[in-house]
């Protein structure tokens, strides 16, 4: 790497971090997808703009970015899953990940074979890649409290797990194409070897890496302690180690990363929460950097193949999921409003591009054409689905006094009398015995806890009282109802939110986290 290239790379990373940070508030308020912003940023910095960088498909840097990006997508998806929630909604999960993912993949593959005259295995790669729902583009939407709870759950399950269902289709199809196109003999892998790598070696290496990582962390925690922010980085280390171990053993490193994430999610909730509080932001910055890399010139190549056939194919690829999911979600007992929401929001994005790049990096003849086709569909998806998010967020803001969710006709259930989440007038009393904060802070009249009666007395006396919902994002997403009049204030963003809400410094702050 030359000095100029190194400087340009460092500058690119700095620009991504600065832009992502400065626009975070705008993105949250307007609903404009970060993906679209960073694709445009990539175009501005790429060869068609300032010429800061130019990554070709054969670039080693692109291969590194894409590989690490797919590892992070799969690991983040897995570690973010609430396994107890999946067990409670196992029927919905099976329907969304089974027919809800595989039928659209098959129909997209069939249309690619018929309209574009592709080999059936190449069509299967395109179908599997374009059936992947992008978690990066959906992330901002799923964090909104006004999204119907059932819709949030279905989308989180789909975007968090369908990549691991579709990845084996891509890998097996690549093996078939190697044989069909006459690749090097060493690349003609037997079906048994591929199955062993996908079903045994990859997941096995991921589970082992997760177990070893959790065991080591637990021992160090108990002996000398570990800083919470470094635990999130530790989780990223587990992901990359699992990938490397599986690849060295001849398995799928991508499935290993997913298996490691599932292992951590099942056995170490504290590490999961640390990752979601700190590490997820690091992973998100890396994924946005990947979008900038694609936005330089690569993704715009999708416009080169615009014609009647490709437009017809893209229309089918973007519409078939909606048609399939309506009856599938109905069988799962999902209400009609949530079905409309889930069926519409199925954006294609980074995960689609990363899956489509696998045959390119594997040297399969004609794989570049498959990637360009996927680029066209992703561009249209960012435009269509991204615009819809902006419109719905604006509609929700204009109807903020309504109890409806951001999808017209979809209503949010009223707060339930569960724990600390019901309206104050119906909320069961908190523990009546106040507990001192600590021996150092206890002055005899500073309680750690406050009862509902004490809270009402403060209100009656005219005191300024602000109720704060300080649950972590992971806890909130599993039950997105808040107490009446409370302000949502996750602990990792408390200072900025307190400033933006202009909370009086003399006010009494009452926080709940359960």
List the CATH number of the domain containing 157. Answer: 1.20.1530.20
Distance separating alpha carbons of residues 102 and 89, to the nearest angstrom: 19
Q: What phi, psi does 319 have (nearest 5°)? A: -100, -20
If asked whether residues 148 and 291 sit together in one domain, one would say: yes
Instruction: Tell me, yes or no, whether 143 lies in a domain.
Output: yes
Q: How far is CA 461 from CA 174, 410, 414, 465, in A?
A: 71, 39, 28, 10
> Whole domain around residue 431: which residue ranges?
424-512
pLDDT of residue 473: 64
If asked whether residues 483 and 359 sit together in one domain, one would say: no
pLDDT of residue 183: 54
pLDDT of residue 406: 36
| Total length of the chain | 514
If asked whether residues 176 and 278 sit together in one domain, one would say: yes
Instruction: Tell me, yes or no, whether 207 lies in a domain.
Output: no
pLDDT of residue 320: 93
For residue 466, the cross-strand partners are 509
- What number of other Cβ atoms are within 10 A of residue 312's Cβ? 13
If asked whether residues 490 and 353 sit together in one domain, one would say: no
If asked whether residues 339 and 455 sit together in one domain, one would say: no
pLDDT of residue 2: 61
If asked whether residues 347 and 440 sit together in one domain, one would say: no
Instruction: Tell me, yes or no, whether 439 lies in a domain.
Output: yes
If asked whether residues 442 and 342 sit together in one domain, one would say: no
Question: String of b and e for 347-358 (b: at least 16 CB within 10 Å)?
Answer: bbbbbbbbbbbb
Distance separating alpha carbons of residues 438 and 447, to the nearest angstrom: 10
**Number of domains the chain contains:** 2
Spans of the chain, pLDDT less than 50: 185-188, 401-447
If asked whether residues 295 and 380 sit together in one domain, one would say: yes
If asked whether residues 157 and 292 sit together in one domain, one would say: yes
Instruction: Tell me, yes or no, whether 10 lies in a domain.
Output: no
- Out of 397, 413, 442, a domain closes at 397
Residue 290's nearest CA partner among 31, 41, 44, 486 is 41
Q: Are 155 and 138 in contact (CB under 8 A)?
A: yes
Please count the helices (runs of H) and the strands (runs of E) in the chain. 23, 3
If asked whether residues 70 and 147 sit together in one domain, one would say: yes
Distance separating alpha carbons of residues 147 and 46, to the nearest angstrom: 36
Cα torsion 142, 144, 147, 148: sign: positive
If asked whether residues 165 and 34 sit together in one domain, one would say: yes
If asked whether residues 374 and 505 sit together in one domain, one would say: no
Sheet holding 465-469, edge to edge: 487-488, 465-469, 508-512
pLDDT of residue 221: 85
For residue 468, the cross-strand partners are 487, 511
Q: Look at the pTM and tell me if it is higher than 0.85.
A: no
Contacts of 163 (CB under 8 A, 6+ apart): 73, 74, 77, 132, 258, 351, 355
Distance separating alpha carbons of residues 315 and 108, to the nearest angstrom: 10
Q: Are 208 and 167 in contact (CB under 8 A)?
A: no
Instruction: Tell me, yes or no, whether 169 lies in a domain.
Output: yes
Q: Which two tokens stand for residue 42?
A: 């990539």
Helix (H, G, I), strand (E, B) or coil at 196: helix
Instruction: Tell me, yes or no, whether 241 lies in a domain.
Output: no
Instruction: Tell me, yes or no, whether 413 lies in a domain.
Output: no
Q: Are 225 and 210 in contact (CB under 8 A)?
A: no
List the CATH number of the domain containing 449. Answer: 3.40.250
Instruction: Tell me, yes or no, whether 1 lies in a domain.
Output: no
Q: How far is CA 255 from CA 19, 85, 163, 242, 251, in A?
A: 32, 22, 10, 9, 8
Residue 490's nearest CA partner among 79, 16, 28, 32 is 28
Cα torsion 289, 171, 133, 319: sign: positive
Q: Are 251 and 198 in contact (CB under 8 A)?
A: yes
- Out of 397, 432, 451, a domain closes at 397
């Amino acid at each position: 790497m030359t000095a100029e290239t190194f400087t340009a790379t460092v500058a690119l990373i700095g620009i991504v971090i600065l832009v992502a940070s400065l626009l975070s508030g705008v993105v949250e308020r307007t609903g404009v997808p970060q993906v679209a912003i960073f694709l445009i940023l990539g175009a501005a910095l790429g060869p068609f703009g300032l010429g800061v960088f130019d990554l070709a498909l054969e670039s080693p840097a692109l291969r590194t970015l894409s590989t690490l990006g797919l590892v992070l997508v799969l690991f983040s998806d897995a570690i973010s899953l609430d396994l107890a929630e999946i067990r409670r909604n196992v029927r919905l999960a099976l329907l969304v990940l089974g027919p809800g993912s595989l039928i659209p993949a098959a129909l997209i593959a069939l249309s690619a074979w018929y309209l574009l005259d592709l080999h059936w295995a190449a069509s299967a790669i395109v179908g599997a890649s374009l059936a992947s729902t992008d978690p990066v583009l959906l992330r901002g939407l799923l964090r909104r409290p006004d999204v119907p709870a059932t819709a949030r759950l279905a989308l989180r399950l789909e975007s968090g797990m369908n990549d691991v269902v579709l990845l084996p289709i891509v890998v097996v199809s690549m093996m078939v194409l190697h044989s069909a196109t006459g690749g090097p003999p060493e690349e003609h892998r037997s079906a048994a070897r591929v199955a062993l790598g996908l079903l045994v070696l990859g997941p096995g290496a991921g589970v082992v890496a997760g177990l070893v990582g959790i065991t080591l962390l637990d021992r160090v925690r108990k002996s000398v302690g570990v800083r919470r922010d470094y635990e999130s980085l530790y989780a990223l280390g587990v992901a990359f180690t699992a990938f490397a171990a599986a690849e060295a053993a001849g398995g799928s490193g991508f499935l290993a990363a997913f298996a490691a994430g599932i292992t951590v999610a099942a056995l170490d909730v504290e590490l999961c929460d640390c990752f979601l509080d700190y590490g997820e932001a690091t992973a998100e910055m890396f994924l946005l950097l990947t979008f900038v890399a694609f936005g330089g010139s690569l993704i715009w190549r999708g416009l080169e193949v615009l014609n009647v056939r490709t437009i017809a194919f893209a229309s089918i690829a973007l519409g078939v999921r909606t048609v399939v999911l309506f009856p599938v979600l109905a069988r799962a007992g999902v209400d009609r409003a949530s079905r409309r929401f889930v069926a519409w929001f199925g954006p294609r994005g980074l995960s689609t591009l990363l899956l489509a790049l696998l045959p390119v990096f594997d040297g399969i003849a004609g794989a570049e054409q498959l990637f360009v086709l996927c680029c066209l569909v992703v561009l249209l998806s960012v435009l269509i689905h991204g615009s819809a998010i902006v419109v719905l967020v604006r509609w929700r803001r204009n109807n903020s006094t309504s109890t409806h969710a951001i999808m017209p006709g979809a209503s949010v259930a009223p707060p339930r009398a569960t724990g600390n989440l019901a309206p104050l007038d119906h909320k069961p009393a908190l523990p009546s015995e106040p507990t001192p904060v600590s021996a150092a802070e206890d002055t005899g009249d500073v309680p750690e806890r406050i009862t509902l009666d004490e809270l009402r007395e403060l209100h009656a006396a005219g005191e300024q009282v602000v109720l704060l919902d300080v649950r972590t994002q992971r806890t909130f997403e599993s039950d997105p109802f808040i107490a009446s009049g409370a302000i949502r204030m996750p602990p990792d963003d408390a200072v900025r939110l307190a400033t933006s809400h202009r909370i009086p410094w003399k006010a009494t702050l009452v926080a709940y986290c359960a």
